[in-house]
């Protein structure tokens, strides 16, 4: 068993890749306004994997929409590399749970991966290289000429991830990315996430309902609770690395962290 504890990646960096400063968000106006997020402040360092967890309906997806520039904030600020986010940032890519809706059924795997790169006007060899590299990173070299409907759910989600990777985002944002795949595929995709973070030094922000997944994947966990939502706890996941599905999940400290996150979520729910 690993004895050495690794620090979070935040230890090694000074400038946050993402910064959330007093972010609040309401839907609607005047008397009809629904105040979903009260006042969130946290940073995500370069190369960090941060999970956002909390009770259903607390505002996790709303927060991701604000951070990806898809929804305007009501007050506060979200910054990427110190720059205000006021629309979808070029440096970000998004992976949603609903891969069936994000892939084009009439395009092959290769052409689906190419799609978001077309506007970058890259020289053809560079374009091919990026596509090949991304498809190899998700282990789909054998399926490049297949159509999404010829692939399993897990493979389709790999295509969605490859498409995000080929774009080379600095920040990969994922909303329940593995919720619709079977348990074994889920483990593989979680490990893929850890590998691509290491390979591309990517910063990854992920919303998940799965507490074990949050603990396994993350350097830190942002626990949201209450209504309107606040950060009820920012947890450092001080599990030894490199992580491994069997070894890491069988550590007593893994079980302790899972229990801690679960009870924080329960508290956040009851205090809504
Ligand atoms: P979570 O992702 O944590 O389940 P959401 O961010 O989806 O939570 O939703 C938080 C709250 O905001 C819910 O009460 C939801 O009904 C409300 N909400 C989400 N989107 C909208 C919208 N476009 N207009 C009005 N209310 C919304």
Q: Indicate whether residue 97 lines ligand 1 (CB < 6 A).
A: no
Which residues of the chain, if any, have pLDDT below 50?
A: 1-13
Distances in Å between the alpha carbon of 17 and those of 24, 169, 199, 237?
A: 20, 12, 17, 19
Task: Tell how far the Cα of 200 is from the centroid of ligand 1, in angstroms.
Answer: 32
pLDDT at residue 189 in the model: 85
The pTM score is 0.89
57 within ligand 1 shell (Cβ under 6 A):
yes
pLDDT at 271: 58
State the pLDDT at residue 270.
64
CB distance 56 to ligand 1 below 6 Å: yes
Strand order in the sheet with 16-27: 34-45, 16-27, 75-80, 83-84
């Amino acid at each position: 068993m690993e004895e050495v504890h690794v620090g979070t990646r935040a230890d090694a960096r000074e400038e946050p890749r993402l910064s959330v400063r007093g972010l609040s968000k309401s839907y609607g106006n005047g008397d009809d306004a629904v105040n979903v997020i009260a006042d969130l402040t946290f940073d995500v360092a370069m190369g960090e994997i941060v999970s956002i967890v909390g009770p259903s309906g607390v505002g996790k997806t709303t927060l991701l929409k604000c951070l990806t520039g898809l929804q305007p904030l009501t007050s506060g600020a979200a910054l990427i590399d110190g720059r205000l986010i006021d629309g979808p940032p070029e440096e970000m890519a998004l992976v949603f749970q609903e891969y069936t809706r994000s892939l084009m059924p009439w395009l092959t795997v290769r052409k689906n991966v190419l799609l978001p790169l077309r506007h970058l006007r890259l020289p053809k060899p560079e374009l091919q290289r990026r596509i090949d590299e991304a498809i190899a990173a998700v282990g789909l070299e054998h399926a490049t000429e297949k159509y999404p409907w010829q692939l399993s759910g897990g493979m389709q989600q790999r295509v969605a991830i490859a498409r995000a990777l080929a774009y080379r985002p600095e920040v990969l944002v994922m909303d329940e990315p593995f919720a619709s795949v079977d348990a074994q595929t889920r483990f593989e995709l979680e490990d893929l996430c850890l590998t691509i973070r290491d390979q591309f030094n990517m910063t990854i922000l992920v919303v998940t309902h799965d507490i074990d997944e949050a603990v396994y994947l993350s350097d830190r966990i942002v626990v949201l609770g209450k209504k309107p939502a606040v950060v009820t706890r920012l947890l450092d996941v001080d599990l030894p690395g490199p992580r491994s599905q069997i070894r890491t999940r069988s550590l007593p400290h893994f079980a302790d962290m899972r229990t801690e996150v679960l009870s924080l979520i329960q508290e956040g729910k009851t205090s809504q």
